[in-house]
A = this chain, B = another copy of it.
């Protein structure tokens, strides 16, 4: 049973294509690693690489690309709208196949320690890799941004988990962790009334009383004359797509509004779709190993 881990480094560079190509090449050249995707955003001045691989490959590729980012990107000259604290800003590891969350936590700690000690960059662990509840959330760690970290790093509560206890001016700090796969899934409503999308988002999201592993907001898609409930599923096994979809359908019907479509942003694990089919087809005896592809690739 081959272990597969996903890694999604976020970099504070979204304009210089040559630099991004060099980061991508650093990942793609490692044995046992497969590049899945990369995107760059000029406004946010930010890029994201998605790759997967076995445990050794993922660790090597993650450290190598962290090193390359520390050479190529200089935070002293970085401008962009997106909150960020470092050249390699965030480095999450996600269990994809035959791998536990604990194994991903161990990978995050190994790679985090090397980034701290060998590259002299302060490292903060987050999500599942962090035990201190007040330092688990990315938003809490990143608050104040790169500029604010020159002071923040001196606070006793914000001593780094690895690396020097002083700011790295060129590279900033890096946030390393382990988390579940995140699904970005949006549902479109047949109305131009943004209030309805906002009310439904409020009804279903965790922060205001909804599902435990769901973030949601209402968005106006003016050019399409529809409004959208835009969502992040942070644990699709415990808060599944089909359950949230049916609640949205029901809440919308209360306003006489129909769902007119949905869209997936980025990638989705096969299991999230298998679970959906199993639910709607009311299967009594479904199991993962009834899917022929799951027998072929172990």
By a beta-carbon cutoff of 8 Å, the part of chain A in contact with chain B is 4, 6, 34, 36-37, 52, 96-97, 181, 185, 188, 241-242, 245, 259-264, 266-270, 272-274, 276-278, 280-286, 290-297
Contact = CB atoms under 8 A, between A and B. Distances in A.
Given A285-B263, A296-B52, A297-B297, A291 B268 contact: yes
B283 A270 contact: no
Contact of A264 (B185, B283, B297): B283
Contact of A270 (B36, B268, B270, B281): B270
Given A34-B296, A276-B277, A269 B291 contact: yes
Nearest to A35: B295
A293 B264 CA distance: 16
A97 B99 CA distance: 26
Given A269-B293, A276-B280, 12 more contacts: A36-B295, A52-B296, A97-B293, A242-B281, A262-B283, A267-B292, A269-B291, A273-B273, A276-B276, A277-B277, A277-B280, A297-B297
Given A36-B292, A293-B293, A297-B297, A276 B281 contact: yes
Contacts of A97: 293
